[in-house]
Amino acid sequence: MNRKQQIVLLIGLAVILLMGLFPPWRGFVKTTVPVYEQNAGYAFLFNPPEKGRLANGYEPEFPYREPNINFSFLATQWCIVAALTAFVAVWLHDRK
Q: Are 19 and 81 in contact (CB under 8 A)?
A: yes
Domain locations along the chain: 1-23+70-96, 26-69
Rounded-to-integer distance, Cα 30 and Cα 57, Å = 20
pTM above 0.85, yes or no: no
Q: Find the helix packing angle between 71-91 and 3-21, rounded to 10°.
A: 170
Rounded-to-integer distance, Cα 55 and Cα 59, Å = 9
Q: For every one of its 96 residues, what pLDDT tens digit does the chain have, with 9 covering 90 and above?
A: 899 999 999 999 999 999 999 999 988 776 666 777 778 889 999 998 877 665 555 556 656 677 889 999 999 999 999 999 999 999 998 876
* pLDDT computed for residue 78 by the predictor: 98
Beta partners for 17? none
One-character DSSP codes across 22-61: S-EEEEEEE-SS-EEEEEEEE--TTSPPPTT--TTSPPPS
